[in-house]
Amino acid sequence: MGSPYPHVLGLEWLQRIAAAALLAYAAYSDFRTREVDDRIWVLLCAVSAPATLLQLARLDPPALLAYVASSYTAFSLGLALSAFELMGWADFLALACIGLTTPPAARGPISSIPALSVLVNSLIASVAYPLYLLARNLAAAARGERIFEGVEAGALEKTLALLTLTRIPAEEYERRRDFYSLAEKLEDGRRRLVFSLRIGGEELPAPHADKVWVSPYVPYVAMIAAGYLMYLAVGCPLEALLPR
């Protein structure tokens, strides 16, 4: 039996494709420059408005409540993470726009709140980043680089560094500070590793060394875009682990 609202479904999928395309462009911009033009989010909301309003008009009260919960989740969690410098401004705007423009679908306990589902999915996607850093660091070690030379660190610190940090030429760090935060500091003339979850923070002077350990700023808009695509495809994969 066909849908009684074929025009709404068609518009809904056009909106999803447009939103995915704009998120993909924002992710590319974030990856290349660590900056995203705010006009992208205005355009995303404007393009999504007709389909979103039509979908909201045919939702029942429980689904409308889920939409309100999704929007509230997007704004409250986004603001909280931004306040604690765990998320950037563009990341917050991406999540907020998704919360406003994505009415809930009839799915599970997490995916019925789209913003929460996208956030969880983005965290799942971000698991790949430590694996990338680990592969990069092990490849450098395999090439014969003494990656921890000149740095005092215990076994646990070295393990964390392999998963969360990377080593680059000091010149590159000075040239691309928007992409990295320094993960070293001098204490009593000794170089020690520094770990932080915060974005930005105090800029430490680079030690006099050819290469330094840095913490790359994760292009989290790209992770949110991946989380959104995952939501459109399967909802929230984490729900498969929940008891039925």
Find the domain containing 82 and state its range.
6-127+220-237
> Is 27 within the bounds of a domain?
yes
Long-range contacts of 12-16 (CB under 8 A, 24+ apart): 12/51, 12/54, 12/55, 14/51, 15/47, 15/48, 15/50, 15/51, 15/52, 15/101, 16/232
pLDDT tens per residue across span 196-218? 877 665 566 566 778 999 999 88
- The reply to whether 104 and 170 lie within a common domain is no
- E strand or H helix at 112: none
pLDDT 10s digits, 94-121? 999 999 999 987 678 898 899 999 999 9
Q: For position 57, which CATH number holds? A: 1.20.120
- What is the model's pLDDT at position 1? 40
Residue 31 is assigned to a structural domain of this protein: yes
List per-block mean pLDDT (blocks of 10 residues) for the chain, which spans 244 residues. 53 90 95 92 95 90 92 91 84 94 84 92 92 96 94 94 95 90 86 80 66 91 95 91 78
What span, in angstroms and rounded, lies between the C-alpha atoms of 61 and 147?
58
What share of the chain in percent tops pLDDT 90?
Answer: 58
pTM to 2 decimals?
A: 0.84
- Assess whether 118 and 138 both reside in one domain: no
